[in-house]
Amino acid sequence: MIYQQLNHTKQKGKKSFAVLIDPDKINAASLDRIISLSVQAAVDYFFVGGSLVLSNHLDKYVMQLKSSCDIPVLLFPGNPSQISEHADALLYLSLISGRNADLLIGQHVASAPKVKQSGLEIMATGYMVIDGGAPTTVSYISNAAPIPADKSDIALCTAMAGEMLGMKIIYMDAGSGAKVPIPEEMIQAVAQSVSLPIIVGGGIVQPEKAYLNCKAGADIIVVGNAIEKDASLIKEISDAVHSVPAKV
């Protein structure tokens, strides 16, 4: 099970790196290149999804990933149509930072039979959108205010509530292409308040920032945009994340 592996890795204090694949921004050839660079760089996970996903290629790309390498594929869906039974697991997102009932529970109810039938490993994920300095697709589509970046107390209370409600993972996201990534202070405040694995993404473009996020308590760093622009960052960020000393 992916979740057990994820939790085990956290207990050992080891950090992981996930490459985000947005099916709208890729083609089969560029995905091939990303796969081989990711294998060489010892990337831990592929996340597949996006806020919109206008194309119909989700299944195709998930199959391409699965047939080319052993890196686990986790779906990171912007909406319930983004389900592929060929993936390994589903980040079953509930937007706990917002007050939009549809994204907290409504879409889950409507798609529950389909999700259950998929046979995917389901990982309940408390999804928290943090203000990244400019409106991102996720903040617009979700129609819900993000948590202000300087309000660590709101973030930690939100994560705590998510944990007590039974979420298995906390995902802190400044949104794809965020101008400003999530500050380390906020990551640290959340990491000290919950014992769940913490995923952090949105606007990370430098290996140093990935490293500092991990030191602050992030367990998995996700990068999408920056890699689409410069694929050599896959190795640089993977090395930075994996160089964080494990807890003793």
User: Residues 129-168 vs ligand 1GP: string with x where CB under 6 A?
Assistant: ----------------------------------------
CA distance 177 to 170: 20
Count other Cβ atoms within 10 Å, centred on residue 212: 17
Q: Which CB, 147 or 164, lies closer to ligand 1GP?
A: 147
Among 226, 233, 234, 237, binds ligand 1GP (CB under 6 A): 226
Should residue 38 be labelled a site residue for ligand 1GP when binding is judged by CB under 6 A? no
Among 178, 186, 187, 191, which residue interacts with ligand 1GP (rule: CB under 6 A)? 178
By C-alpha distance, which of 152, 154, 130 is closest to 142?
A: 130
Q: Which of 177, 188, 206, 236 binds ligand 1GP (CB under 6 A)?
A: 177
Of 138, 188, 202, give the one whose Cα is nearest residue 159: 188
Radius of gyration (Cα) for the chain, nearest Å? 16
Question: Which residue in the set 72, 162, 201, 207 belongs to the binding site for ligand 1GP (CB under 6 A)?
Answer: 201
Rounded to a whole number of angstroms, the minimum distance from the CB of residue 132 to ligand 1GP is 8
202 binds ligand 1GP (CB under 6 A): yes
Closest to ligand 1GP by CB, 120 or 220: 220
User: Which of 80/164 has CB closer to ligand 1GP?
Assistant: 80
Shortest CB 130 distance to ligand 1GP, Å:
10
> DSSP string covering 96-136, please?
TTS--HIIIIIHHHHHHHHHHHTTPEEEEEEEEEB--SS--
- Closest CB to ligand 1GP belongs to which residue? 201
Q: How far apart (Å, rounded) are the C-alpha atoms in residues 143 and 61?
A: 29
Q: Which helix (H) or strand (E) holds 173?
A: strand 169-173
Who's near 51: CB < 8 A, 6+ residues apart? 78, 136, 137, 138, 141, 176
Footprint (CB under 6 A) of ligand 1GP, residues 86-115: none
Region near ligand 1GP per CB under 6 A, out of 7-15, 96-104, 221-229, 234-242? 221-229
**Does 20 help bind ligand 1GP (rule: CB under 6 A)?**
yes
C-alpha dihedral sign at 82, 84, 88, 90 = positive
CB 241, CB 211: distance < 8 Å: yes
Binding ligand 1GP by CB under 6 A: which of 75, 213, 224, 238? 224
- CA-wise closest residue to 155 among 179, 136, 174: 174
* Interface with ligand 1GP (CB under 6 A), residue from 107, 125, 225, 238: 225
Site residues (CB under 6 A) for ligand 1GP?
Answer: 20, 173, 176-178, 201-204, 222-226
